Structure 1
Amino acid sequence: MTAADRAERARAADALCQEAFASVGCPETGVALVAVGGYGREELAPYSDLDVVLVHDVEVEAGEWAGKIWYPLWDSGANIDHAVRSFPEVLEQAGADLKVALGLLDLRHLAGDPNLTLRLRTAILAAWRRDAKQRLPQLHDLVRDRGSLLGEIAHLSVPDIKEATGGLRDATVLKALTATWLVDVPHGELESCRQALLDVRDVVHQVAGRGTDRIAPELWADMAPLLELPDAAAVQLHVRRLGKRITHLSRLVWRRADAVVRRPARSATTRRPQLTSLGNGLAIAYEEIVLDRDAKPSGDPLLLLRAAAEAAERDVVLEPSTTARLIAEVPPIPEPWPAEARDLLVRLLAAGRGLLPVWETLEETGALATILPEWERVRLLPHASVVHRFTVDRHLVETCIEASALIRRVSRPDVLMISALLHDIGKGGTVEHSIAGEPIAREIAARVGFDARETELVAALVRWHLLLPQTATTRDPEDPQTVELVTTRIHDREELELLAALTEADAKATSEKAWTTWRASLIRSLVRRASVELSEHLTFEEEPRTVDVPASVRSVPNAVAVTVTEDGDGSTITVMSRDRVGLLADTAAAIALQRVSIRAARVWTEDGIGISRWQVSRTGIDAKVLRERLEAIAEGRLDAGTRLRPADADGLAPIVVLHPEASERATVLEVRAADRPGVVHLVCAALAGLGLTVRSAHVDTLGPQAVDVFYVQDADAEALSAERAAAAADAVRTALSPSG
């Protein structure tokens, strides 16, 4: 089945229509028989209907011939969808009904007055282009509604290759978008996929022996030889790939079309796209991430990851040609990955709904193969269980999206996101997938730069990601051995909270039925009981303190010493001054105003000297400028508070937890919030406002989330009372909230 076969069927149908027109005595002028829709495109499948319209000028009254013309077509056995309309009626109906307008865009002359057909086609196209900005939102709603109802070809067990997302209807809509002249469509890619899907439809008709667009399970095997494919599985993979490719093109073009609709009209003098620089070689133009004008991709191995993370977090398009250039020019990421590369990957995975289109672009351009070659083993792989609504690859992405809403619940969001991405990576073989996936996940985790403990944690989460739902739903919750089954496999509360979050994300990404209220209550109850059996004490590794305090800092009351050392992909800032209430807040503010990303920080006091050591992601920091800014903040000459107000960075509320059991001499306050400049300052300023001091702090940025632990004391250098501790937690929570 080829395009030539479809064209031959169209020519045969044309001859029938032309005979019918000639046989009933239609007027020679002012009347035309036209083909629309798929027939207009000469794309007839073996059992396609013939969509035809008999059009006449207003001056020509439709006579008996207007009814008689259909009889010869019926007698021939053809299935026809027909109408008789005046010229104005056709235009009116096209203006009122988008589906009619789409069919008329492919209008083709069959018989009668060719001038009338030409005038009609010209009028239809002119109206479509004139009203495009007003009509495209409604058309996009139709596309989305159809997709919500029918699903995506790439993930359906019984796909509708015409109406489902990624099908022939979407391809037709993309051609209609091209006709607006508002957006461009990758024509070559679209046309090759469309023709291949038309070949599939032809074969479906032939095998089924009737006109159908749905591929029933029993048809796959019979389709294989006609498509020159080895077996039913190869046919399914072929159809899924075509559907996924068209889906990707459709989403990309619709993002661009929506941006055009929202964009103010450009003046005649504005021709070049307006670039807004984002730094680090990237810019944004018309809601798409592109390379900045002075970017040098060959010198930055992280540029592809950075571009993907920016696009996903901003929920904008990762421009495909930019991605293709980055694949060609960006050097490989060193292995194991540096910390910044791992953080960029975690930021990408935790971006929420913005992840899906960016991940699709990485897949379709081949970029993902350079970042995560293991992905190919699960790409478009169907699940064995019918409860899953997506193929394995899409399920993993959806699990990341669900997990991104749960990162406040865990102290290691980076581990959660990587585990969400990899939890089903072992599927597709003969070994149980959680067992097969464990060594794969371990290898990937080590490659992306996790240390030995973190790597084992990722591997364990992949190995046991089914433990909680299987145990909670198949064992007696009152039997002590039920809890023991969990605690003998899970080492501590940190691992348990990660497993609980992964379990919830996995279930929600599977289907609505997989995370019912009843199922959730069973799992949460099991987690609570297992938590009691595991250690509840927080431990933090203390770094060696080998700082030499300058004599001036010890002898001069307000003296400040700042040193900056560079370590290749970032800097370490060390700040020393006489300890006082608010010192840490002021230091954090001075660093935040530098607009650098804080990777980690450790703070302590030594003989009355407050010492803080900050690891940041940027080089080229001027120690003198930083010291002057800190002094200006301390003396009240610079108001950092108004410049570091909180913003609703990721839509998730900050989490502030007290751990009274973690220390006898201080109250431990754990803060989980979106990583953004000023988080540490806001926390410390809120505590300073209550007259509290921070004895030590442990600050870590893990992908999109800051996980900061503060050891807080009152004026007597003692732990806080329960009342004061609650007030401190409330003050910090308020300070970090956008409304605070």
Structure 2
Amino acid sequence: MNNLPIPNQRAIVDRRELAGKIDALAKEKGAQQARGEIVALLKDALEQGRAEIRQRLETHPSRGHLCTGSQSFLIDQLVRIIHDLVIEHVYPVANRSAAERLTILAVGGYGRAEMAPHSDVDIAFITPTRRAPWCEQVIEAMLYFLWDLGLKVGHSSRTVDDTLRMAREDLTIRTALLEGRFVWGDRALYDETSVRFWAEVAKGSERQFLAEKLEERNARHKRMGDSRYVVEPNVKDGKGGLRDLQTLYWIGKYIHRVRSAADLVDVGLLTKAEYKGFRRAEGFLLAVRCHMHFITGRAEDRLTFDLQRRVAERMNFQDRPGKSAVERFMQFYFLQAKRVGSLTGVFLAHIDDEFEHKRARSGFFAGWKQKSRLLKGYRVFGGRIAAPSDDWFRKDPIRLIEVFQLAEENSLEVHPETMRLANRDSVLIKDDVRENPRANALFLDLLSGRNDPEMVLRWMNEANVFGRFVPDFGRVNAQMQFDMYHHYTVDEHTIRAIGLLSKIEKGELKGDHPRSTGLIHKITSRRALYVAVLLHDIAKGRGGDHSVLGADVARELCPRFGLDDAETDLVAWLVLQHLLMSATAQKRDLTDPKTIEDFVSEVQSTERLRNLMLLTVVDIRAVGPGTWNSWKRQLIGELYDSAQERLRLGHMRHGREQRVEAKKESVAEQLGDRAGLVADIGKLFDDAYWIAEPEDVIALNLVQYEVARKIEDQLSIHCEYYEARGATLVTVIAADHPGLFYRIAGGIALAGANIIDARIHTARSGWAVDNFLVQDPVGKPFREAGQIDRLKKAIADALGNRIELVPKLAQRPLPRSRAGAFEVAPRVNFDNQASNRFTVIEVNARDRSALLNRLSRALFESNLMVQSAHITNYGERAADTFYVTDLTGSKVTTPSRLKEIEQRLLDAASDERQAALEPAE
């Protein structure tokens, strides 16, 4: 497949010179006696060849074909030298019989001459007959030489008959043989194998090979995340990666017997322009893979965050305003992956059509052709919509929008040949088309379509029509965000969010989103909401607050789309505030009335609240798998209900006293025959406790407190799975003392758990009742008995000073070690307006082992009382919010005091070594 000529080959390895030296040694000392020296010569040649190839890649960092071709050339020469050494000096035979013949085939990436620096050397040894002792000896001797060079060799040794029989039975062997390349040995034996392969294996099995290859591809995509826009892609096996291009070549070669990818043009499977795109994408992906191999010193195919930055640097990508070098590099990477996807669709459609024609010419259905119908001038057949002529879009470029709108409205696929035409003619979309009212009406109908707008918008994006029609969307096409929180590129995230909104509207996600499923049918303008979802991240990568910049974009685009003034105002506000609800729900104390007041003063209307709720839900869920969970559903639901009540009534339904009394009645009802605990123990807690905690948690706390008091237990720890929140509830009742919170946080961290929410209460009796919600590092609750016991023991040990907490915590690695690839400068914000009673402190820092414990210790050392803590993770970044007072119960307002607290928190968030060295109390 890689037929690029290698310049100055002898600078990589001079086979004639090297072979001469080895031959002289073997003659002088004998092959076995000189083995060490021979291996040293070969090793030196391998290392020098790799160094030369590496230097060439550094000089031309995007020439992947040159690098992989050179690596294959280097291995070819070494294999040839070793073969000749073995047959001439190790096992020489004067007159070999017909059975004593051997041919060496390169297979796999080596066979395609697309060999990355640390790829396996895949070799097939072919012999005429079985059990030819000389052949077995030669093969074994060659392998030992290759292994001595430190090469990882994948090898097989078979007769011609066995090779063909196994190829018929096994798709992997058939594929390997398909791209087998003669390296050295008996050429006649290779030719015999090749001729018989095409006559006895390939002939008549083309359709089967196609089906099996596509099934193999789909399974591989599923394994790799089933999207070409995952932010840590697998360059080799991921969707849109090298294996997809290779699959096209395999299929084309198997069906049309092409010798190289360039021949795919001659047989009509690709146009010249598409082949250029094929080569460009392939060359770039190969270069990326080669850089990864050189950087890691091993066969590495996953483009992880730490590698992305280094590869971007090696490939000379530079920072630009609003977009770092690594983000520019990854955007280019995803554009190549997108090109691979487009080529795949067109290519397979041609193959499909070929088989359709063949089917129609024979058998009972000979001469029968499926009837097509017309739909607004388009041909519709086989569930696909197709342009009727090559110049269809040139005659009227608005049809480039219309074809996708009709596909969505009528649940049709766009024929790949029409996709090819749309891609070619997308350049015709200029300002006159963008400003055309009909074109915009068609686009709006598609965006808010009732069937499957997600899929059709993705096709529209693949054909480059989407980005041409909405240039602001084109700017975020294939754009990644360099962090661990976002799983997809901006365009893919946006299209997924639109799809989720559509599914909610159709009731398909009622189990996960019952509230949203009801709300979406109460909003005034569904099309405004769909536009808001489209535009919420439209201004990312512009070097400013994307919410503010996005609102400006919305004010320009909405009138163009045909939205009225009220809809435009709503969309602009939603884009501006699309992070407000999630930030409030996850970072603020929802039981603090001031939190609700501030949120409502910004939202101002029930209509805005409904729309914001729906946008928030799809935005979080479209970030990636696992980002939406029952905990977030509970928090956002609570905020919605409180805000909705405040907006509807103009005030909270009940005053503070009435709310407390209503809670007490509800708890008494839950406790049944133990209802007396509300009066007996409940009087020990002030109103803040009754407002802050849910009724079911209060009931558990009262029972636990009573049991602890009866048995005079100085420490009571209760843990149970809390289904409503998708977490484990941990309640600690102990004599209150300074530092209690940070010690509990340390114990929970030692047990391998993460705190996601914490509420700290002190009863009038002087006892602390602290409620924590915890999850494991991947966001799952602790449910097993062993996990619960481990939690209890770790907390008890931490509070009982039975372990040296700080050194133990310093030893624990962060479960997501990839966070080390990111630089997150710690930041501390104080807010004395967010609560009437507390100073709110928010700390943003890189997530790492026991961060919360270190921050809470810093607060303890600053003589602050923590009332509640709210913990949010955004991939590598943690945002921990604390509601605090000083020791007198007052807010902290003195500038010098705030500066001192800030410095302590920054030290705790940023200096791991210092934290590890601090003495345990």
TM-score range, shorter chain: 0.5 to 0.7
Structure showing the higher helix proportion among its residues: 2
Is residue 382 from structure 1 mapped to residue 480 from structure 2 by the alignment? Answer: yes
Q: How does 1:149-164 map to 2 (within 5 A)?
A: 149-151=223-225, 155-164=229-238
1:82-108 CA-partner distances (Å, limit 9, x unpaired)? 110122322333333333332222111
Residues 134/206 of structure 1: CA separation in 2 closer, same or farther (3 Å cut): same
| 1:501 aligned residue | 614
Question: In terms of Rg, which structure is larger?
Answer: 2
Work out whether residues 300 and 330 of structure 1, in 8 Å CA contact, stay in contact via their aligned partners in 2. no
| 1:201 aligned residue | 289
User: How many Å separate the matches in 1 of 2:469 and 2:311?
Assistant: 35
Residues 166/370 of structure 1: CA separation in 2 closer, same or farther (3 Å cut): closer
Give 1:438 deviation, angstroms: 0.8
Work out whether residues 140 and 254 of structure 1, in 8 Å CA contact, stay in contact via their aligned partners in 2. no
Give 1:117 deviation, angstroms: 1.9
Report the TM-score when normalising by structure 2.
Answer: 0.53
Work out whether residues 297 and 330 of structure 1, in 8 Å CA contact, stay in contact via their aligned partners in 2. no
Work out whether residues 56 and 87 of structure 1, in 8 Å CA contact, stay in contact via their aligned partners in 2. yes
User: How many Å separate the matches in 1 of 2:69 and 2:389?
Assistant: 47
Which runs of no fewer than 5 residues in structure 2 stay unpaired? 1-56, 58-62, 257-267, 320-324, 507-519, 650-921
User: How many Å separate the matches in 1 of 2:390 and 2:227?
Assistant: 41
| 2:626 aligned residue | 513
User: How many Å separate the matches in 1 of 2:182 and 2:446?
Assistant: 54
User: How many Å separate the matches in 2 of 1:224 and 1:27?
Assistant: 56
Residues 283/202 of structure 1: CA separation in 2 closer, same or farther (3 Å cut): same
Is residue 427 from structure 1 mapped to residue 537 from structure 2 by the alignment? Answer: no
User: How many Å separate the matches in 2 of 1:500 and 1:342?
Assistant: 26
Is residue 531 from structure 1 mapped to residue 626 from structure 2 by the alignment? Answer: no
| 1:307 aligned residue | 403
Q: 2:339 aligns with which of 240, 245, 264?
A: 245
Work out whether residues 154 and 380 of structure 1, in 8 Å CA contact, stay in contact via their aligned partners in 2. no
Q: How does 1:104-503 map to 2 (within 5 A)?
A: 104-125=177-198, 127-128=201-202, 130-151=204-225, 155-181=229-255, 184-185=269-270, 186-224=274-312, 226-230=314-318, 232-233=325-326, 234-250=328-344, 253=347, 265-267=359-361, 276-284=372-380, 288-293=384-389, 297=393, 300-312=396-408, 313-317=411-415, 319-324=418-423, 326-327=425-426, 337-338=436-437, 341-348=440-447, 350=449, 355-356=454-455, 358-407=456-505, 409-410=520-521, 411=523, 412-503=525-616
Work out whether residues 337 and 449 of structure 1, in 8 Å CA contact, stay in contact via their aligned partners in 2. no
Work out whether residues 221 and 227 of structure 2, in 8 Å CA contact, stay in contact via their aligned partners in 1. no
1:553-577 CA-partner distances (Å, limit 9, x unpaired)? xxxxxxxxxxxxxxxxxxxxxxxxx
1:670-709 CA-partner distances (Å, limit 9, x unpaired)? xxxxxxxxxxxxxxxxxxxxxxxxxxxxxxxxxxxxxxxx
| 2:718 aligned residue | none
Residues 504/216 of structure 1: CA separation in 2 closer, same or farther (3 Å cut): closer
Residues 463/224 of structure 1: CA separation in 2 closer, same or farther (3 Å cut): closer
User: How many Å separate the matches in 1 of 2:341 and 2:563?
Assistant: 34
Work out whether residues 299 and 330 of structure 1, in 8 Å CA contact, stay in contact via their aligned partners in 2. no
Name the aligned partner's letter for residue 402 of structure 2.
R
Which runs of no fewer than 5 residues in structure 1 stay unpaired? 537-740
Name the aligned partner's letter for residue 498 of structure 2.
C
User: How many Å separate the matches in 2 of 1:15 and 1:334?
Assistant: 58
Work out whether residues 277 and 283 of structure 1, in 8 Å CA contact, stay in contact via their aligned partners in 2. yes
User: How many Å separate the matches in 1 of 2:77 and 2:544?
Assistant: 59
Residues 14/91 of structure 1: CA separation in 2 closer, same or farther (3 Å cut): same
Give 1:111 deviation, angstroms: 2.2
Work out whether residues 388 and 510 of structure 1, in 8 Å CA contact, stay in contact via their aligned partners in 2. yes
Work out whether residues 283 and 291 of structure 1, in 8 Å CA contact, stay in contact via their aligned partners in 2. yes
Is residue 20 from structure 1 mapped to residue 62 from structure 2 by the alignment? Answer: no
Name the aligned partner's letter for residue 338 of structure 1.
P
Residues 296/132 of structure 1: CA separation in 2 closer, same or farther (3 Å cut): closer
Give the secondary-structure state (helix, strand or coil) at the position aligned to 1:38: helix
Work out whether residues 293 and 300 of structure 2, in 8 Å CA contact, stay in contact via their aligned partners in 1. yes
Give the secondary-structure state (helix, strand or coil) at the position aligned to 2:124: strand
User: How many Å separate the matches in 1 of 2:484 and 2:276?
Assistant: 35
User: How many Å separate the matches in 2 of 1:316 and 1:347?
Assistant: 14
| 2:128 aligned residue | 57
Work out whether residues 346 and 417 of structure 1, in 8 Å CA contact, stay in contact via their aligned partners in 2. no
Number of matched residues?
535
Name the aligned partner's letter for residue 227 of structure 1.
M
User: How many Å separate the matches in 2 of 1:433 and 1:226?
Assistant: 29
Q: 1:38 aligns with which of 103, 109, 131?
A: 109
Work out whether residues 28 and 113 of structure 1, in 8 Å CA contact, stay in contact via their aligned partners in 2. no
Q: How does 1:59-78 map to 2 (within 5 A)?
A: 61=132, 63-78=136-151
User: How many Å separate the matches in 1 of 2:281 and 2:103?
Assistant: 33
Give the secondary-structure state (helix, strand or coil) at the position aligned to 2:182: strand
Residues 117/289 of structure 1: CA separation in 2 closer, same or farther (3 Å cut): farther
Give 1:534 deviation, angstroms: 4.5
Residues 475/158 of structure 1: CA separation in 2 closer, same or farther (3 Å cut): closer
Work out whether residues 578 and 616 of structure 2, in 8 Å CA contact, stay in contact via their aligned partners in 1. yes
Residues 189/295 of structure 1: CA separation in 2 closer, same or farther (3 Å cut): closer
User: How many Å separate the matches in 1 of 2:532 and 2:68?
Assistant: 48
User: How many Å separate the matches in 1 of 2:442 and 2:276?
Assistant: 36
| 2:171 aligned residue | 98
Q: How does 1:639-658 map to 2 (within 5 A)?
A: none
Give 1:530 deviation, angstroms: 3.3
1:286-317 CA-partner distances (Å, limit 9, x unpaired)? 65532125985456453111112234442444
After superposition, the CA RMSD in angstroms is 3.6
Percent same amino acid at aligned positions? 25
Give the secondary-structure state (helix, strand or coil) at the position aligned to 1:404: helix
Residues 263/344 of structure 1: CA separation in 2 closer, same or farther (3 Å cut): farther
Is residue 87 from structure 1 mapped to residue 160 from structure 2 by the alignment? Answer: yes
User: How many Å separate the matches in 1 of 2:414 and 2:539?
Assistant: 31
| 1:597 aligned residue | none
Give 1:321 deviation, angstroms: 2.6
Work out whether residues 314 and 354 of structure 1, in 8 Å CA contact, stay in contact via their aligned partners in 2. no
Report the TM-score when normalising by structure 1.
Answer: 0.64
